[in-house]
């Protein structure tokens, strides 16, 4: 079946940008729910998301578990290869809490940047300012006297939040340089459910810009795949009914289109695994633990969901650190 929803912003850019921004709350609420149910530990997510009023299906929480574990394992592999002498840039970070979790495990990179639309950045900064358990770790990892914090940007020694549009690369680069971005450092970029909300020419330009600017880099991407079948079309229609179009869906047709977008935009090596493969690669004792948390009736639905999301990653390795070998 052909994918029919690739038309550009039929509702106009402002309406669709607002709908895209609202996906940030969906992600953080699902993460909070799964954390409350015991799927993984994250003492910080409660500050960024309300506890959802309704019960979430176990398929959703298992899917989030595989996503968070899969991404975290790749991030840790990069930190190990670079001996933490690196920077991380979380693109479309929303209310993600990885900075605090890495700090707790003594795994912080040289600097951790988060980028999102200015309104999302402003909200996150406001929450950080009002919660000592979030602001304290930033202050502890800061080495100067005071750090910059205004309504839509925060810049400390080890952590920065930048309010910017990922489609405006010149402005983004300028803002990151002001916050001490060092293109020569090994750099990990991550995008969890972000690129699919951008038109292909914008996400291609972003991937190409990263490949041009950073000689030693890894890009981790989590988003939809196999979107040209019936189940994929239903996923597109569901989001469309919430005024949110997956305008980047043409890169999400197969694992191969996911890999090719990196290779065509200047990356040396690229991998892609659907979430069934990712789930099967996670430590069996941990999978057993989470499978005992909730009874799952619909194994087929879980499998369908997981077949329609993937983890892809690409590398460029001018410093020969062994980044091409990284796998789950």
Ligand X SMILES: C[S@@+](CC[C@H](N)C(=O)[O-])C[C@H]1O[C@@H](n2cnc3c(N)ncnc32)[C@H](O)[C@@H]1O
Cβ atoms 21, 119 nearer than 8 A: yes
Query: Which one of 42, 114, 116, 274 is in contact with ligand X (CB under 6 A)?
Result: 116
What is each CA distance from 92 to 20, 167, 189, 267, 319, in whole angstroms?
A: 10, 11, 11, 21, 27
Q: Residue 79 has which token pair?
A: 């930190």
Q: Tell me how many residues contact ligand X (CB under 6 A).
A: 21
**Residue (93 or 251) nearer to ligand X, CB:** 93
In angstroms, give the least distance from the CB of 37 to ligand X. Answer: 17
In angstroms, give the least distance from the CB of 191 to ligand X. Answer: 7
Beta bridge partners of 160: 113, 155
Contact set for ligand X, span 225-284 (CB under 6 A): none
Does position 94 interact with ligand X (CB under 6 A)? The reply is yes
The C-alpha atoms of residue 221 and residue 219 are separated, in whole angstroms, by: 6
In angstroms, give the least distance from the CB of 309 to ligand X. Answer: 12
Contact set for ligand X, span 33-92 (CB under 6 A): 92
In angstroms, give the least distance from the CB of 187 to ligand X. Answer: 17
Task: Let me know how long the chain is.
Answer: 328
Beta strands in 8-103, from DSSP E residues, in sequence order: 87-91
In angstroms, give the least distance from the CB of 4 to ligand X. Answer: 22
Taking the CB of residue 138, how many other CB atoms lie within 10 A of it?
22
3-state secondary structure of 135: helix
Contact set for ligand X, span 301-320 (CB under 6 A): none
**Residue (250 or 268) nearer to ligand X, CB:** 250
**Residue (120 or 272) nearer to ligand X, CB:** 120
The C-alpha atoms of residue 154 and residue 121 are separated, in whole angstroms, by: 9
**Residue (23 or 82) nearer to ligand X, CB:** 23
Does position 128 interact with ligand X (CB under 6 A)? The reply is no
**Residue (96 or 317) nearer to ligand X, CB:** 96
Taking the CB of residue 63, how many other CB atoms lie within 10 A of it?
20
Cβ atoms 218, 313 nearer than 8 A: yes
In angstroms, give the least distance from the CB of 115 to ligand X. Answer: 6
Query: Which one of 100, 197, 214, 267 is in contact with ligand X (CB under 6 A)?
Result: 197
**Residue (93 or 321) nearer to ligand X, CB:** 93
Contacts of 31 (CB under 8 A, 6+ apart): 42, 45, 49, 64, 68
The C-alpha atoms of residue 121 and residue 14 are separated, in whole angstroms, by: 18
**Residue (16 or 187) nearer to ligand X, CB:** 16
Does position 93 interact with ligand X (CB under 6 A)? The reply is yes
**Residue (192 or 317) nearer to ligand X, CB:** 192
Handedness of CA 34, 35, 41, 46 (dihedral sign): positive
Query: Which one of 20, 66, 239, 302 is in contact with ligand X (CB under 6 A)?
Result: 20
**Residue (244 or 323) nearer to ligand X, CB:** 244
Tell which residue, 71, 60, 72, 59, has the closest CA to residue 32: 60
Query: Which one of 56, 167, 208, 243 is in contact with ligand X (CB under 6 A)?
Result: 167
Tell which residue, 59, 18, 12, 3, has the closest CA to residue 242: 18
Query: Which one of 166, 176, 189, 220 is in contact with ligand X (CB under 6 A)?
Result: 166
In angstroms, give the least distance from the CB of 99 to ligand X. Answer: 12
Interface residues toward ligand X, by CB under 6 A: 20-21, 23-24, 27-28, 92-94, 96, 116-117, 120, 165-167, 192-194, 197-198
């Amino acid at each position: 079946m052909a994918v029919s929803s690739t038309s550009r912003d039929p509702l106009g850019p402002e309406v669709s940008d607002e709908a895209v921004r609202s996906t940030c709350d969906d992600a953080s609420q699902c993460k909070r729910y799964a954390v409350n149910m015991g799927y993984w530990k994250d003492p910080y997510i409660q500050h960024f998301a309300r506890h959802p009023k309704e019960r979430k299906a176990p398929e959703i929480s298992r899917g989030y578990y595989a996503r968070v574990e899969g991404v975290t394992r790749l991030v840790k592999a990069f930190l190990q290869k670079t001996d933490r002498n690196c920077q991380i840039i979380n693109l479309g970070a929303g209310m993600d809490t990885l900075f605090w979790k890495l700090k707790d495990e003594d795994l912080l990179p040289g600097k951790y940047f988060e980028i999102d639309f200015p309104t999302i950045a402003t909200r996150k900064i406001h929450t950080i300012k009002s919660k000592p358990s979030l602001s304290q770790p930033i202050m502890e990892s800061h080495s100067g006297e005071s750090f910059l914090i205004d309504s839509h940007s925060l810049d400390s020694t080890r952590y920065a939040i930048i309010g910017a549009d990922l489609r405006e690369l010149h402005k983004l680069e300028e803002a990151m340089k002001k916050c001490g971005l060092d293109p020569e450092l090994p750099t990990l970029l991550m995008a969890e459910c972000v690129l699919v909300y951008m038109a292909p020419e914008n996400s291609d330009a972003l991937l190409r810009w990263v490949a041009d600017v950073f000689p030693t880099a890894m890009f981790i991407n989590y988003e939809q795949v196999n979107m040209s079948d019936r189940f994929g079309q239903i996923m597109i229609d569901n989001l469309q009914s919430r005024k949110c179009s997956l305008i980047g869906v043409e890169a999400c047709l197969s694992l191969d289109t996911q890999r090719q977008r990196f290779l065509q935009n200047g990356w040396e090596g690229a991998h892609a695994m659907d979430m069934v493969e990712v789930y099967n690669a996670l430590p069996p004792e941990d999978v057993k633990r989470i499978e005992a948390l909730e009874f799952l009736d619909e194994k087929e639905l879980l499998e369908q969901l997981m077949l329609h999301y993937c983890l892809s990653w690409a590398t460029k390795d001018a410093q020969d650190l062994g980044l091409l070998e990284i796998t789950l």
